[in-house]
Amino acid sequence: KNEVEQSPQNLTAQEGEFITINCSYSVGISALHWLQQHPGGGIVSLFMLSSGKKKHGRLIATINIQEKHSSLHITASHPRDSAVYICAVKEYGNKLVFGAGTILRVKS
């Protein structure tokens, strides 16, 4: 079993839909990152969370430390949100472990 599990693996949505990507992990962590990777390959850090909830524009990230679970929500999705979304957990000792990613396609 992977230390970081993301679901779904693939997601196709219609423009305007509310999107949720989930991340579950099995180890103790000091922080959790949500990353976005566009087809060109570049990676952008969206959020770093250690508790609670963060919001940036149409993106919301939440984390439940007790349940070892985090969600990334995209409101009013747009085709430019099409990308791979990666959850990564920072274990104690600073090792970052990545999920396999969720491939999101938003159709207009």
Partner 1 sequence: DSGVTQTPKHLITATGQRVTLRCSPRSGDLSVYWYQQSLDQGLQFLIQYYNGEERAKGNILERFSAQQFPDLHSELNLSSLELGDSALYFCASSANRQGPDTGELFFGEGSRLTVL
Binding to partner 1 by residue 94, rule CB under 8 A? yes
Rg (CA), the chain: 13
CB of 3 to partner 1, least distance (A): 12
Q: Is the CB of 66 or the CB of 93 nearer to partner 1?
A: 93
Query: Residue 69 in contact with residue 24, Cβ under 8 Å?
Result: yes
Binding to partner 1 by residue 30, rule CB under 8 A? yes
For residue 15, give every residue at least 6 positions away whose Cβ sits within 8 Å of its Cβ, in sequence order, or none: 77, 78, 79, 106, 107, 108
Six-digit token string for 83: 């990308």
Binding to partner 1 by residue 54, rule CB under 8 A? no
Q: Which amino acid is at 57?
A: G
Q: How many of the chain's residues bind partner 1 (CB under 8 A)?
A: 21
Query: Residue 30 in contact with residue 50, Cβ under 8 Å?
Result: yes
Q: Is the CB of 73 or the CB of 90 nearer to partner 1?
A: 90
Binding to partner 1 by residue 12, rule CB under 8 A? no
The contact set with partner 1 (CB under 8 A) reads 30-31, 33, 35, 41-45, 48, 86, 88, 90, 93-98, 100-101
